[in-house]
Amino acid sequence: MNANRLPRLFFLMLSTMMFFGCADTGGPAAAAPAPGKAQVTILYDAYGKANGMTKDWGFAALVEVAGKRILFDTGDNPEIFAANVKAAGVDLTRLDFVVLSHRHGDHMGGLTHLLSVNPKVRIYAPKEGFGVYGFDVPSAKLIRPNPSAAPDDRYYGGQYPEVMRFGTAFPGANFELVDKTTEVAPGVTLIALVSDAPGTKELKELSLAINTPDGVVLVVGCSHPGIEAIVAEAAKINPRIHFVAGGFHMVAAPDEPIAKVAAALHDKWHVEWIAPGHCTGEYTFAGLKQAFGDHYRYAGLGTRLMLGADVHARVGGRDADAWAMDGADYSSYGRLLAASDDAPASMVARRDE
């Protein structure tokens, strides 16, 4: 070969490698996931139209946004959760991680089924003192040492561990406990707040906020800390709140608070699309639908909420954009609510009116 051509040949080979990415540079562009589809699939709720799925009081959703597959809550009953997951064609072995919003059974009861098929999946859960997901605390915060006591009368014989760790109701589960608002992946944040409401005071709850080009996609479990407080935290990530789905815990709310919350979400926070479910409440569904008009989306069991600049609801291949709760929805929702821990007597009495 002509020696004069060697430098040129080397240059061409190097250029080709750089162009086609033959060399692994390890840069962020190479590691970034493809956007893929963006949708939220409702896997557990007390109303809905999907055939082959069982309605029950509780909540679970598969969130597929920004290249991530996130299971948010697991419903109440593991058998019902398993059947609904199968009917929806969801593969629980292909999850990036799981979020358990709070410790109530109707949001974590299906965890035993999840762990049977994906035992090592990372599970984010709220960190609480002596909580069901486990707990740890510096021994200095829990023990007042008595140096004058005999070793046999002292905890750990007086040789305290620096950190005391306590077990979980789900041994072997890969829990990662969250005690403050935390970004767990690029653009994916868990909002951690504490309830101040009577009956759930000091309950810690996680909400899922994903920052997308269209704005924040926000999925909530029960909103015990208040849906306005959660949206306010999400707005710190990005003031544009594109989409909110999940339970607002207003099953027994009178008309005035419902109107106040609907106006705040629509007029103050400028939420663009809303798809409430679970413990939001029948009257609150109606109030939000009136406030948001054609930017309200039906989110019953089996609904796929297709995300993008516009949000579309699909149920079993049918367009559900204009759907609202009907007689069958009210029947299943009211019956299951009445049997749940979320049902105050006032809600049952008011529905009977």
| DSSP letters spanning 126-190 | E--TT-TT-EEEEHHHH----TTS-GGGSGGGG---SEEEE--SSTT-EEEEE-S-EEEETTEEE
Give the bridge partners for 207, in sequence order. Answer: 191
Give the bridge partners for 62, in sequence order. Answer: 41, 71
What is the mean predicted confidence (pLDDT) over 128-138? Answer: 89
Max avg pLDDT among 195-199, 230-234, 322-326? 230-234
Give the bridge partners for 191, in sequence order. Answer: 207
What is the mean predicted confidence (pLDDT) over 57-69? Answer: 97
pTM of the model: 0.86
pLDDT of residue 35: 58
Which DSSP letter does residue 296 get? B
- pLDDT tens for each residue of 34-51: 356 899 999 999 999 988
What is the mean predicted confidence (pLDDT) over 93-118? Answer: 97
Secondary structure (3-state) at 319? strand
Of 47-56, 135-144, 194-203, 248-257, the poorest mean pLDDT is in: 194-203
Host H or E run for residue 349 = helix 345-352
Of 128-137, 185-194, 284-293, the poorest mean pLDDT is in: 128-137
State what percent of residues in the chain have pLDDT above 90.
79
The answer to whether residue 347 scores a pLDDT higher than 80 is: no
Q: Which of 151, 144, 102, 153 minimizes the C-alpha distance to 341?
A: 102
**CB distance 181 to 190 below 8 Å:** yes
Q: For the chain, list the domains and their CATH numbers.
A: 33-133+168-343 (3.60.15.10), 137-167 (no CATH)
pLDDT of residue 130: 85
The answer to whether residue 33 scores a pLDDT higher than 80 is: no
The answer to whether residue 343 scores a pLDDT higher than 60 is: yes
Q: By 3-state DSSP, what share of the chain in percent is helix, strand and coil, each rounded to 5? A: 35, 25, 40
**CB distance 251 to 342 below 8 Å:** yes
Sign for the pseudo-dihedral over CA of 238, 244, 247, 252: positive
